[in-house]
Amino acid sequence: MIKLKRAYEPATRNDGRRVLVDRLWPRGVGKEAAKIAEWLRDLAPSPALRRWYGHDPARWTEFKRRYRAELRSPARRRLLEALADEARRGTVTLVYAARDEERNSALIVREALEKIPIA
């Protein structure tokens, strides 16, 4: 099972393994309170793509296209496959900092994870 949760929401037992999928640590969130098991900053959008998008809803469709292309790189594909294996064994919660719960990179990561075939 793959869940999504903002970094600013409290961690719960139901979260399972909490994985931060942002390049930057969420402002004002302490490492102890975040209860992050793993920080996959290399899975996050590239700095250039993140700056270009700037959380502008008008750029969402193009951002998704570009980020999906980035996720097809061999290094990111390996990270996705490892994360998909973890999700098959138990709950994984993708943690992100974006305010917009309908347009954020964690949604795209979850979508990519769900498309990985079971080995």
Looking at the domain assignment, is residue 88 inside a domain?
A: yes
> Per-residue pLDDT for 93 more than 90?
yes
> Per-residue pLDDT for 119 more than 80?
no
Q: Which domain holds residue 34?
A: 2-114
* One-letter identity of residue 12: T
State how many domains the chain has: 1
- At residue 50, the pLDDT reads 94
Classify each residue of 32-56 as buried b or exposed e, where b means 16 or more C-beta atoms within 10 Å of its C-beta: eebebebbbeebbbeeebbeebeee
Mean pLDDT of the residues in the chain: 94
Proportion of the chain above pLDDT 70, given as a percent: 98
Q: In what order do the strands lie in the sheet with 92-96?
A: 2-6, 92-96, 17-20, 38-39
Chain segment 3-12, per-residue pLDDT in tens: 999 999 999 9
> Per-residue pLDDT for 118 more than 90?
no
Looking at the domain assignment, is residue 119 inside a domain?
A: no
Looking at the domain assignment, is residue 40 inside a domain?
A: yes
Looking at the domain assignment, is residue 23 inside a domain?
A: yes
